Chains A and B, each alone.
Chain A
Amino acid sequence: MKKIMNVPDQFVDQSLAGILKAHPGLLKAAPEDGRAIVRADAPVRGKVAIVTGGGYGHLPLFLGYVGKGLCSGCAVGNVFTSPSCETVVNATKVVSGGKGVLYLIGNYMGDQMNFEMAADVVGMENIETVLIRAADDVASAPREKWEDRRGIAGILFAYKIAGAMAERGHSLQEVEKTTRKACERIATFGVAFTSCQLPEAAAPIFEISGDEMELGMGIHGEKGVKRCKMMNAHELADYMVGTVIQDLSLTKGNKVAVLVNGLGSTSQEEQYILYGEVADILKTKGIDVAKAFVGEYVTSMEMAGVSITLFHLDDELEDLLKDPMYTPFVKL
């Protein structure tokens, strides 16, 4: 394993220190908690704040979505491990602008429990919270149980919608309602070609042979649906986007936003080959693309692989998608 680091158990904190040094005008840490990273202008008075968080090792997820038009703060855990309740509480207190706080996280048990506990703690101090779990991984549960799914790259769109609603000055209940609607209309399918390795671990999380790929893989090495021989770009696009179209029951005339997301070490050139195929398939089916995103938005350390997300838009969601946003890591 070749990773730039000093000591493995300082991987997260030294990386965060670098981020704060690089973007001093945009991000800051909560007082006495270097794992609670918030917008430099927090708190924004009179607006709903959005706090996200989760394990480290997925940049730009989660921390990279802290910025104008997206999240207000992020609680950072260890690599692939939930942040502590205290860090969530610390982030919440710094960003709270008096109109309530939306907790928007991926659907993982440790994250959920720590955010729920933080909600209890800040509730005692009269900060109102609502928790929404993004659950978009088609491979992890059927459509009728979509709320049981793992949360993967599609959370990007949930951030965008929640952030735009909050920035426009809507109430916590309005932000919640529209974000929940969005979450139900987001679906993702991912594939992996190689494993990743934790900074403190001696070996990669799993083994996969040179000519194979894993379909429906999670972003922490969680098992997929099946393993098969490597496909070409056309077959891959057909399989992946076909699965997502079916899941969302998309038909001719529907409008979507598309995300082709690299998991860490698949080149942009490859990602665009895949997107070209996806765009052709959608065109053939009469599904309109309102906006496309191609790049690394949710990664898994140096794992090679890619995911495709479709976000089924209606007029309200399409309008919100156009609002400006900016963070040190992503522009949409």
Chain B
Amino acid sequence: MEYKIDQVKEILKYCAELVSEQKEQLEKIDSQVGDGDLGISMQKGAAAIAGEADSFEGNDPGALFMKCAMALNKAAPSTMGTLICAGLMQMGKTFSKKETVTEAEAAEIPSLFAQAIMARGKAKEGDRTVLDALLPMAEAVKTAFGSGRALSEAFAAGAEAAKNGMEKTRDMVPKIGRSKWAPENAKGVPDGGAVLCWIVAQGLADRAGR
């Protein structure tokens, strides 16, 4: 199957709603480690994405992703918001002037996102960031889809990998961003970006390929 603009919008809105519902959890995690604004900024960002998906006219998913990127960045120009924006911009470029997203292309999306985030934020695996959930997720989705499993199963495997990756950040020492100034606060707490990745991964597992 292929995804047309309406399905892309629906999946974006679903994931945005899941993120909004987790505002307080994200707030709590971030106030233990960083400056406590992750919940509120991600809620604002999710609302901006849902709003763009609602008002978007046209059938080019690339243009929709680009609009979402800019809206998110305007609503939440925090470090996390900017990193997600970088991922969405990459999707905007990748799917520009196409009318559909194929299943094979969908299976590449977590990798595209991870590459864009690495290019923009200059972090790598093990630095205790969103990448520690996103990279295993990307690998799991690609491997499962590449070995012939259905896209829905591939994204379910991706969500599982994101969760495992997120759990591992509890024991990691922050190497980048503001939390590196107070590494002792991060002990035992999962990285906020990794938690966010797990939330979205669950959303994709719920909706992709169905």
Binding site for B on A (CB under 8 A): 77, 81-87, 109-110, 113-114, 116-117, 120, 222-223
User: Can you identify 23 A-B contacts, CB atoms within 8 angstroms?
Assistant: A77-B77, A81-B77, A81-B78, A82-B77, A82-B82, A84-B73, A85-B74, A85-B77, A85-B82, A86-B70, A87-B74, A109-B177, A110-B77, A110-B82, A113-B82, A113-B83, A113-B86, A113-B120, A113-B121, A117-B86, A117-B89, A222-B181, A223-B181
Are A85 and B181 CB-contacts (below 8 A) given A109-B121, A117-B86? no
Q: Does B131 contact A (CB under 8 A)?
A: no
Does A114 lie within 8 Å of B181, measured CB to CB? no
Does A117 lie within 8 Å of B78, measured CB to CB? no
Q: Does B79 contact A (CB under 8 A)?
A: yes
Q: What 0/1 pattern do residues 95 to 135 of B give for CB contact below 8 A with A?
A: 00000000000000000000000001100000000000000
Q: Does B85 contact A (CB under 8 A)?
A: yes
CA distance A83 to B75 in the complex (A): 10
A contact residues around B181 at 8 Å (CB):
222-223
B residues 143-179 in Cβ contact with A at 8 Å: 176-177
Are A113 and B79 CB-contacts (below 8 A) given A84-B73, A84-B74, A85-B73? yes
Does A117 lie within 8 Å of B73, measured CB to CB? yes
CA distance A113 to B78 in the complex (A): 10
Distance from B78 Cβ to chain A, minimum over Cβ atoms (Å): 7
Distance from B179 Cβ to chain A, minimum over Cβ atoms (Å): 12
Closest to B177 in A: A109
B contact residues around A86 at 8 Å (CB):
70, 73-74
B residues 52-105 in Cβ contact with A at 8 Å: 70, 73-74, 77-79, 82-83, 85-86, 89
Does A114 lie within 8 Å of B73, measured CB to CB? yes
Are A85 and B79 CB-contacts (below 8 A) given A114-B73, A116-B120, A117-B120? no
Q: Given known contacts A85-B85, A110-B82, what 12 new A-B pairs fall within 8 Å (CB)?
A: A81-B77, A81-B78, A82-B78, A85-B73, A86-B74, A87-B74, A109-B176, A110-B77, A113-B82, A113-B120, A117-B120, A223-B181
B contact residues around A110 at 8 Å (CB):
77-79, 82
A contact residues around B121 at 8 Å (CB):
109, 113
Closest to A205 in B: B35
For the complex of A and B, the 5 pairs showing the least CB-CB separation, nearest first, are A84-B77, A113-B82, A84-B74, A85-B73, A84-B73
Closest to A223 in B: B181
B contact residues around A113 at 8 Å (CB):
79, 82-83, 86, 120-121
Does B70 lie within 8 Å of A85, measured CB to CB? yes
Does A117 lie within 8 Å of B82, measured CB to CB? yes
A contact residues around B74 at 8 Å (CB):
84-87
Distance from A97 Cβ to chain B, minimum over Cβ atoms (Å): 24
Q: What 0/1 pattern do residues 9 to 32 of B give for CB contact below 8 A with A?
A: 000000000000000000000000
Distance from A180 Cβ to chain B, minimum over Cβ atoms (Å): 19
CA distance A85 to B86 in the complex (A): 10
CA distance A84 to B82 in the complex (A): 8
A contact residues around B78 at 8 Å (CB):
81-82, 110
Distance from A107 Cβ to chain B, minimum over Cβ atoms (Å): 12
CA distance A223 to B78 in the complex (A): 20
B contact residues around A114 at 8 Å (CB):
73, 77, 82
CA distance A110 to B86 in the complex (A): 12
CA distance A157 to B89 in the complex (A): 34
CA distance A82 to B177 in the complex (A): 14
Does B77 lie within 8 Å of A109, measured CB to CB? no
B contact residues around A223 at 8 Å (CB):
181
CA distance A222 to B181 in the complex (A): 8
Interface centre among B73, B74, B121, B176 (most CB of A within 10 A): B73
A contact residues around B120 at 8 Å (CB):
113, 116-117
